[in-house]
């Protein structure tokens, strides 16, 4: 969380110009929800996997082999199970990689790309952007893209900030890098254009949400007073309700999962069950984040006067 300088006034004493500027740094602009999805599909289904692997303990300076082994599970067991599941259902997905994960497991990245999936930026080492100055954040993000492109041998056009930690400088960095889309902000259910300081940026926002993320239901920290755990069938119910709502409205269903979390035996079946239902409906467009962003930017409905 960004904290004000010691001599900064409390927010209730801010002048109107300051809180308006804060709200306008990365604001939701026009809706980019299209009039129709490809092939006449009723809704779009965009599945993503944040391949954090070993980087979360490393980010915290935690060199404990036990903690690192939990991340290693994502590479060793989680991703192979997930790749197999996606191949069986013929579903493309987007895998967001911290650069350090890609450097640790380059063969995994190249295998994911060979399967037809997209690779996106997810920080250098899962750092928190709001703890960085602008120069450092820019350097790490540019270096991360370079690593991902070198390893995957594919252009990288999208970003999801680690932990969706979006700093006051992040949008400017995304614009400077010429990226197509971001998937970190949560102002809508459906895609929208990001606006900065009142100016339309052309950047497509593909909004995630904590509701549609596995980590909040399954993460476990033995040294924490809070140890969330939800049964997979209950998480499936939540995801299914979100998907059914997107289908009824003709919008986007975007799901965020983690190989080291949902790649376990008791949980991967949850993903399979969701895909089976969506596949059986026959009018769902399964796409990568890049494909959704490209379609929405080209086919957005005209704003209502």
User: Is 287 inside any structural domain?
Assistant: yes
Q: Give me the CATH number covering residue 266.
A: 3.20.20.370
pLDDT at 304 over 50: no
In a domain, 177, yes or no: yes
pLDDT band, residue 1 (cuts 50/70/90): very low
Q: Tell me which residue range forms the domain holding 112.
A: 39-299
- Give Cβ neighbours of residue 206 (< 8 Å, ≥ 6 apart): 46, 158, 181, 182, 183, 191, 252, 254, 289, 292, 293
- Give the model confidence (pLDDT) of 139-180 as tens digits: 999 999 999 999 999 999 999 999 999 999 999 999 999 999
Q: What is the pLDDT of residue 247?
A: 98
- What are the tens digits of pLDDT across the range 190-233? 999 999 999 999 999 999 999 999 999 998 777 776 666 899 99
152-167 CB burial, b ≥16 within 10 A, e <16: beeebbbbbbbbbbbb
Average pLDDT, the chain: 94
Q: Looking at the domain assignment, is residue 18 inside a domain?
A: no
Separation of alpha carbons 240 and 87, rounded Å: 21
**DSSP, residue by residue, 11-37:** GGG--HHHHHHHHHTTEEEEE--BSS-
Q: Is residue 124 part of a domain?
A: yes
Res. 42: pLDDT tops 80: yes
User: 143 versus 8: which is more confidently predicted?
Assistant: 143
User: What is the pLDDT confidence band of residue 301, given thresholds at 50, 70 and 90?
Assistant: confident
In a domain, 43, yes or no: yes
Inside any domain, residue 3: no
Q: Is residue 22 part of a domain?
A: no
pLDDT at residue number 302: 64
Q: Would the pTM of this model clear 0.85, i.e. be above it?
A: yes
Q: What are phi and psi of 225, to 5 degrees?
A: -75, -25
Q: How many domains does the chain have?
A: 1
pLDDT tens profile 78-114: 999 999 999 999 999 999 999 999 999 999 999 999 9
Q: What is the pLDDT of residues 264-282, one digit of tens each?
A: 999 999 999 999 999 999 9
Q: Is residue 13 part of a domain?
A: no
CA-CA-CA-CA torsion sign (2, 261, 214, 283): positive
């Amino acid at each position: 969380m960004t904290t004000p300088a010691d001599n900064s006034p409390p927010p209730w004493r801010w002048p109107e110009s300051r809180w308006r500027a804060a709200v306008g740094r990365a604001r939701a602009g026009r809706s980019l929800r299209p009039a129709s999805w490809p092939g006449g599909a009723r809704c779009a289904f965009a599945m993503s996997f944040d391949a954090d692997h070993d980087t979360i303990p490393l980010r915290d300076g935690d060199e404990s082999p036990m903690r690192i082994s939990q991340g290693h599970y994502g590479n060793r067991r989680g991703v192979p199970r997930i790749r197999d599941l996606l191949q069986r259902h013929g579903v493309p997905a987007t895998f967001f990689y911290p650069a350090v994960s890609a450097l640790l497991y380059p063969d995994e990245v190249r295998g994911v790309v060979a399967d037809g999936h997209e690779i996106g930026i997810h920080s250098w080492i899962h750092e928190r952007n709001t703890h960085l100055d602008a120069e450092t954040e820019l350097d790490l993000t540019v270096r991360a893209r370079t690593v991902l492109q070198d390893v995957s041998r594919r252009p990288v056009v999208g970003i999801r900030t680690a932990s969706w930690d979006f700093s006051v400088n992040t949008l400017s960095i995304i614009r400077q890098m010429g990226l197509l889309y971001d998937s970190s902000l949560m102002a809508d259910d459906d895609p929208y254009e990001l606006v900065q300081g009142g100016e339309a940026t052309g950047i497509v926002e593909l909004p995630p949400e904590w509701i549609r993320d596995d980590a909040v239901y399954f993460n476990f920290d033995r040294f924490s007073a809070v140890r969330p755990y939800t049964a997979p069938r209950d998480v499936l119910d939540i995801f299914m309700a979100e998907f059914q709502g997107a289908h009824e409205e003709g919008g986007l269903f975007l799901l965020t999962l983690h190989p080291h979390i949902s790649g376990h035996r008791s949980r991967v079946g949850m993903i399979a069950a969701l895909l089976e239902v969506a596949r059986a409906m026959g009018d769902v467009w399964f796409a990568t984040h890049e494909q959704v962003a490209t379609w929405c930017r080209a086919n957005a409905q005209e704003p209502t006067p």
